Amino acid sequence: MPSRRSRTRAPLWGLGAATVLVVLAMAVPAVTGWDVDVIRSFPPLRASWWPRIGPGTVPALLIGAVGVTWSITAAHRLPWRALLAAAWLVGVAWMLALALVDGAPGIAGPLDSGYEYLPAARGITDVPTMLREFISRIPLGPDGWPAHVAGHPPGALLFFVLLVQVGLGSPLAAGLVVTAVAATTPLAVLVTARALGAEAAARRALPFLVLGPVAIWQAVSADAVFAAVAAWGAAALALGAVRRSAAWSVVAGLVLGYAVMMSYGLVLLGILAVAILLVARSWYPLPFAAGAALGLVLVFAALGFAWWEAFPALQDRYWAGVASRRPAAYWLWGNLAALLIAGGPVLGAALACAARDMADALRRPSAHALGALAAAGVAMVLVADLTLLSKAEVERIWLPFIGWIMLSCAYLPGRWRGAGLALQVGFAITVQHLLRTAW
């Protein structure tokens, strides 16, 4: 067992190491002139220096102050359903307040970019034809998809096609829907942890999942929708494993399968799924979930989109384009600095505190549920980073994984929690007011 002194020092060492990594990621390109090819260059983020205040400034300060003052106590004391409702409401309010620093365009603008899904979705009138033609339009060319549409399976585009079809296709309406969906991610993480017997520890982490700089990117990024879908799929899998429920297992397979049809990188959810089954000590859901997920993928293939044919086409476009200009020598570690910015400065301290439990989870996952989930989050990021298929712009790409990693905040010493949450909130407000991010 680690000594009391080492437990006290762990968060300091973690915070210090994280700070050094982030400072180096910002300073090295600036000082050396190293061109790491980031639009709106403020590596490791896709952002530009733009100090400002706006309509969301005062609400963000008020919500942050209330959250720092009351959320830790509320997370501990509120009944289950009230806790879920409060977490969602505070999450929505926090995300909207930060986005509204730029006024209504802060919510509407990013989703309406020419690179994004929403403008493309407005032009889709025939979904079957779109699916049949999807792979042929991945390469660059006059008829090629915009960058983000080409870079993902059609499940992502279909989400926005649905919004357009139900009358929510304006940039502002779509932004509000994305925000509302994104705010459910902490709830799904909490449901997963509760199903696996780690509710008390997850409640300690919940304020850090809801209030923090990750909200800057959640309100305006389609990746936040991917994160929510993935998290609810994981929650369904945990319920299927613990209750030995075929129905929940099938739901898990369908939801996780659709997540993979929204983002190629979400095949890494297999790591999280295995962690959940190991913690639950049950492989009961596996045939039901795997069968449902495979069935969904095959339905897409029958309709014209074969995932295994599309991925090589995407790789060709990626490596012929932006990837060739982004040096791996920087982004292999710059990506991790972006994770620490999106997760907030306390994430380094939390990971240092959780390291022992995450290591123990490798040996006895069922006895270290929260450590296993956090370790799965870390593993997914590391594997994604090493593939070199995500170089830059990862502050949004990491969204499906950050929620699980943030569970490590449950391991912060008691006297760190209040100050740590204040640091998270202050950091988020500072970043939003000093940098203009792309999402």
Per-residue pLDDT, 439: 78
Region of poorest pLDDT, from 20-24, 32-36, 38-42, 303-307: 38-42
Q: What does pTM read for this prediction?
A: 0.96
Identity of the amino acid at 418: G
User: How far is CA 81 from each of CA 146, 180, 187, rounded to the nearest angstrom?
Assistant: 41, 17, 10
What whole-number distance in Å separates Cα of residue 328 and Cα of residue 309? 26
138-142, 305-309, 352-356: which range is least confident on average? 138-142
pLDDT at 370 > cutoff 90: yes
Distant-in-sequence, close-in-space partners of 328: CB < 8 Å, separation ≥ 6: 388, 391
- The pLDDT score that the predictor gives to residue 321 is 82
Supply the pLDDT for residue 3.
53
CA separation for the pair 209, 436 (Å, rounded): 23
Please tell me the distance from the alpha carbon of residue 424 to that of residue 339, in angstroms, as a whole number.
Answer: 14
For the chain, the structural domain boundaries read: 10-25+52-437
Where does the pLDDT of residue 343 fall: very low under 50, low under 70, confident under 90, or very high at 90 and above?
A: very high
Give the model's pLDDT for residue 220.
87
Tens digit of each residue's pLDDT (9 = 90 or more) over 230-243: 999 999 999 999 99
pLDDT digits (tens, 9 = 90+) for 3-22: 555 567 999 999 999 999 99
